[in-house]
């Protein structure tokens, strides 16, 4: 059931992003057409009244379409933000996906958002620790998250391994400061 939720979230998220991309392309196309129509109108100083009316209609329609597209893009972005903000698992799953794609900065960003919603999620703290250790080479941040993980999971099966990592990172961090 949990995997179905994850997959559904990813599908909804990617679908929303695809819609945002399509709408952004439409917006760009309409802006280009609007600019071209405005240039054309400016170049044609003397025209019959019918041409002016027709050009103004085209400009007005394109402006209206552009406004609708901007609203749709804004609505989609807000829906994506609300969906993610409401669901810690959404951020965590996005973090997992980014991590698997080796997009570590994005993974950390999403895990940090999840941790800000639920700072007591031990798994997120552990993942952040590993990301800061491996991908970012930030031992102090890694130690912080590993310690937070152990405080949330005092009986963790991997406690000894995590304590060893903390010790190694603390020693490395201290030797860096002494140089």
DSSP per residue, 130-149 = HHHHHTS--HHHHHHHHHHH
Measured distance CA(97)–CA(91) in Å, rounded: 10
Measured distance CA(152)–CA(122) in Å, rounded: 6
pLDDT at 168 over 60: yes
Domain locations in the chain as residue ranges: 2-86, 88-178
- Are the CB atoms for 62 and 30 separated by under 8 Å? yes
CATH 1.25.40.10 holds for 88-178: yes
Sign of CA dihedral 37, 43, 45, 46: negative
Q: What is the pLDDT of residues 47-85, one digit of tens each?
A: 555 566 777 777 777 777 777 777 777 777 777 666 655
pLDDT at 178 over 50: no
Percent of the chain with pLDDT over 70: 74
pLDDT of amino acid 177: 42
Q: Output 12 or 129, whichever has higher pLDDT.
A: 129
Measured distance CA(27)–CA(71) in Å, rounded: 11
Coil/strand/helix, residue 124:
helix
Model-level pTM?
0.51
pLDDT at 171 over 90: no
Percent of the chain with pLDDT over 90: 32
pLDDT at 87 over 80: no
Sign of CA dihedral 113, 151, 140, 128: negative
pLDDT of amino acid 37: 76
pLDDT of amino acid 118: 86
- Summary mean pLDDT of the chain: 79
Range among 7-11, 71-75, 76-80, 146-150 with highest mean pLDDT value: 146-150
pLDDT of amino acid 157: 96
pLDDT of amino acid 75: 75
């Amino acid at each position: 059931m949990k995997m179905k939720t994850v997959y559904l979230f990813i599908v909804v998220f990617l679908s929303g992003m695809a819609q945002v991309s399509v709408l952004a392309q439409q917006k760009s196309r309409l802006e280009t057409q609007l600019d071209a129509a405005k240039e054309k109108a400016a170049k044609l100083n003397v025209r019959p009244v019918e041409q002016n009316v027709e050009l103004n209609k085209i400009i007005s329609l394109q402006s209206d379409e552009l406004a609708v597209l901007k609203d749709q893009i804004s609505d989609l972005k807000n829906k994506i933000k609300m969906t993610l903000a409401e669901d810690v698992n959404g951020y965590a799953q996005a973090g997992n996906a980014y991590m698997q794609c080796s997009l570590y900065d994005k993974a950390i960003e999403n895990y940090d958002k999840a941790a800000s919603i639920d700072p007591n999620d031990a798994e997120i703290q552990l993942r952040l620790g590993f990301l800061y250790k491996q991908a970012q080479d930030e031992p102090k941040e890694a130690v912080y998250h590993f310690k937070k993980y152990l405080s949330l999971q005092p009986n963790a099966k991997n406690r000894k391994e995590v304590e060893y990592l903390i010790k190694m990172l603390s020693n490395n961090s201290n030797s860096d400061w002494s140089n």
